[in-house]
Structure 1
């Protein structure tokens, strides 16, 4: 779908996730902590749903998972729109590489910790204290909850306010992607090193004639495949595999 179709997509999303009419919030766009302010102003039932793990309820529909699904799309659209606006001369490949880094699982976890989502979980998640502590300590869940809260913010405050708040919250990741060549291998190496692990790359396939080879590489962490990528050089395929691993919920912290 081309960019011309995006406004129609944004208008269509509320049909899938109906929301009650809300009084517009008077928030200053782009200020520090804007996303946290939007979260603080969520209706209580939306905020509680955003903090509800699927293991705590009878059906997964009662958990944060639907909001996470929505928030993932809102996050992607917000970042894609700002990258297109800031980089009118970059091609699709450049934009895709930047976006992949900015919205990766590792980036979501970093932002979640920066705006203190663990504290929000400990104080407000609708579960016994032991369950809240387990949830707040699980890095994968922090990324999931952040996306759920972004989805909830979209329903309560609309796309434009949420977009501005998301861009504000992810500005550090955006600048990092804009000012340096995104190095997924280094990012993955650093993330795993903090856990006493290291990635292992294996070329699993080579295709095409000598002048146009296509390599497929898998990256293993603790004996399991966590990412798979392709490229016209081994280094490019390793970067692609590392990028997929960074976006994996398993790399984000294990469990959902």
Structure 2
């Protein structure tokens, strides 16, 4: 069998392995959805009235804030899935299954491909649930079908980037416990961007970081697509950040995986 059919066959096998794990352990998916939903309810129903008035004047209120905060919540959900991916990769590396794979005639990168594609699928399913709950609590997008498809593409692109990074972090981690901690800064980035308040309300140093970190152009692109706000150069920035993170992370993960399995 030539290299390409072998790669496709083995990558498909590893993908099925990860999808079966997702089905057998649904608590992992519920945990991924749970934290963003809790933050959504907290910010909309506890802080939404005050923060929404700050966004839209006296007529803003909770409804305006529900619309504003959802893109940041969606990125939190993606980051939470990335954390779970790092844990499963670290489990594979420390529990002996990789040693078994090493003795088999398989396409070596297929293990990584299965983790990445499986996690992206899990992420998109989780995001659909989060969007559904957001609609119930007052999120009112005005996007048409094309804009919804484009927004889904932005979310998938972001999920691919953060999942690739989390796979690399899982390979770097020496224990499962440390793997759960390494992706934690990703969960915090929406707070240090435009996820919960506009960046122009921040002190100068914080505002500079918030405007130039990867998550801000992604969130602003999602707002533009779903709510009709201006996108400007944010779409280009979002695509550039996601492409760079994906390529560098997959290269890092592949080199670490080859080094670990060569022992």
Q: Same fold (TM over 0.5)?
A: no
TM-score by length of 1: 0.34
More helix by share: 2
More strand by share: 1
